[in-house]
Amino acid sequence: MKKLMFVIMVFVMAFALLACGGESETSDGETDAVPEVEVEALKSTNGAIEVTVVDGYVAEIGDYYETITVKPEGSEENNSDYMLIEAPGEKGTHENFRFYVYEDSPYKYNKEEAYDADMLKFDIDKYIEANPNIYSNPTDVTIGDYEYIVCDSTTNGEVSHYYFTIVQDKPCTIAVVGGDILDINSDDVKKMIESIKFQL
C-alpha cells in the first residue's frame, strides 16, 4: 500500500511541475520565467549572409557561392521545399545576377558595377511583362533590416515567394519554395527571414 501511495505522489508531483509552464519560484515566492536559449546565427562561406535557423529546420552552406539553403528537418535530398538565400561576395561571387533557373533574365547587374533599387524595380517589371506566367504581384515590403520587392511564383503547381533587395549596390535574393512540407507563410519562415543579415 505504501508503494502504491509513493507512486501516486510521484505522478502528482510530475503533473504539478508540468503545470508550472517552465517557471521557477524564487526564495521570496515570485516566479521567474526560464530564459530562452539563444541560437547562434549561421554564416555563409565567406560571411556575406547570416541567418538564425529555427528548430525543425536544417541548413546547408554553399561550397563556392555565397548561399545558405534551409530545409525542414526530414525533407528528402531533392525535395522542393526550401528557402535559398543568395548574395554576391568578394570570394566566390556571382558573375551575373539573374532570376533562379531562367538563363534569359534581363538583369543587368555584374560584379564590377553598382546596381540600385530603381534598376532592380525596372528589371523585375520588364521580366514580368515578358514572362507573366512566371512571376507576378511585385510588392514592396520591409522585413527585418531590409526593404524587399516580393514576387509570387507558381511552377509545377508549387507556390513560391521571391524576395529581392539591394545591399551596398549589390542584389541579394531569397527564394522561399513551398511544396508538401514547407508553409512559405509560416511564422518560422518569417522569423528566419527577419533574422537575415547581408554583410557585403
Q: 48 has which bridge partners? A: none
Q: What is the pLDDT of residue 91?
A: 56
pLDDT at 178 (0 to 100): 84
- Domain definitions of the chain by residue range: 2-33, 42-198
| Average pLDDT rounded to a whole number, residues 58-63 | 91
How much is the pLDDT for 100? 44
Strand partners, 39: none
Percentage of residues in the chain having pLDDT higher than 70: 68
- Angle at alpha carbon of residue 35, lines to 31 and 41, rounded to 5°: 170
Residue 126 phi/psi, 5-degree rounding, is -65, -40
Q: Mind listing the pLDDT tens digit for each residue in 135-191?
A: 899 999 999 999 999 999 887 777 899 999 999 888 889 999 987 788 999 999 999
For the stretch 97-125, pLDDT in tens is: 554 434 455 555 666 777 888 888 888 88
Of 10-19, 89-98, 171-180, 185-194, the range with the lowest mean pLDDT is 10-19
Instruction: List the one residue out of 28, 61, 71 whose CA is nearest residue 176.
Output: 71
Lowest mean pLDDT among 9-18, 24-33, 59-68, 181-190: 9-18
Architecture label for domain 42-198? 3-Layer(aba) Sandwich (3.40)
**Cell numbers that stand for 131 in this block:** 514572362
Whole-number pLDDT of residue 10: 40
The pLDDT value given to residue 115: 81
* Mean pLDDT confidence for 31-50: 74
Tally of CB atoms within 10 A around 192: 23
pLDDT band at 63 (very low <50, low <70, confident <90, very high): confident
How far is it between the farthest Cα atoms of the chain?
83
Q: What is the mean pLDDT of residues 53-76?
A: 90
pTM passes above 0.85: no
Identify the pLDDT of residue 12: 43
| pLDDT above 50 for 78 | yes
Average pLDDT over residues 48-76: 91
Residues paired with 162 in a beta bridge:
151, 175
- 8 Å CB contact between 136 and 185: no
pLDDT of residue 108: 59
On whether the CB atoms of residues 165 and 172 are closer than 8 A, the answer is yes
